[in-house]
Amino acid sequence: MTAARVGRAYNRWVKKSVSGRLYGLLAGPPGLMLVNTPAFNLHEELQLQPETRLLDIGCGSGALLELLASRVAFQRRPVGIDLSTTMLHLSDPRRASLVEGSGVQLPFADESFDVVTCAHVAKHLDDTSLLLLLAEVRRVLSFGGIAVVWDFAPTRSRLLNQWNEFVVTLGVRDCILRGYTTLSAFALEAGFEWVGNAHLRPFIYPPIPRASVIMGKAPVGWREPP
């Protein structure tokens, strides 16, 4: 599914369905503890500093940014971007700036951010759109910057994967569950000089595995070892 179709589908879903309204609650601060549990230690894992310029792609209501900003006294307000106007309208940003837009065509200049996060977005993108998103992430990162992407991952059971896809795509039909190996391969293809497993744990809800990837853009003057 293309990024634009995902945005339209989410807008309809959140506005018109009971499950969509429930998702709106989960995307807020209380639900963050369940859906994105590792976020509570992410400021330490990423060694965020007051001078860090932070971007969250697929920010929803901005709950992740609000949490991180409550732990780090950022000198510049962190920025979130989301396709869904409905999700953005659910926000009450006090410490972050939220923008409507697409991760595959970020409205920011090159090297605008030091750290980029992107949670539970990749599963809704086809391979072409995912590669575009990761290339855009690298473009807006400063040299020496890092990005962390996480999403639901497949299991070894085809039937369980089908059930999990149904659970995580209520209201949005298409879904591609990708494991660490696949996500890391896309990151390398997008141009990141180093890629590793972020090992984000635990995730409480829903009880579906996650894959998390940390990606780095090389500093100026870096040369790949022979």
Q: Is residue 221 part of a domain?
A: no
Q: How many domains does the chain have?
A: 1
Per-residue confidence at 20, pLDDT binned at 50, 70, 90?
A: very low
Q: Is residue 222 part of a domain?
A: no
Count Cα atoms within 13 angstroms, Cβ side, for 132. 13
Q: Is residue 103 part of a domain?
A: yes
Helices vs strands, H then E, count in the chain:
9, 7
Domain that holds residue 28: 3-216
The model carries a pTM of 0.88
What is the DSSP code string of 94-123? SS-EEEE--TTS--S-TT-EEEEEEES-GG
Q: Which of 124, 122, 130, 120 is closest to 190 using CA atoms? A: 130
Q: Cβ–Cβ contacts within 10 Å for residue 107, how many? A: 11
pLDDT digits (tens, 9 = 90+) for 159-211: 999 888 887 776 566 789 999 999 999 999 999 999 999 999 999 888 999 99
CATH of residue 173? 3.40.50.150
pLDDT for 30: 65
pLDDT digits (tens, 9 = 90+) for 108-167: 999 999 999 999 999 989 999 999 999 999 999 999 999 999 999 999 999 999 888 887
pLDDT for 17: 43
Give the pLDDT mean for 83-91: 79
Q: Is residue 226 part of a domain?
A: no
Q: Is residue 224 part of a domain?
A: no
How far is Cα 202 from Cα 226, in angstroms, rounded to an integer? 37
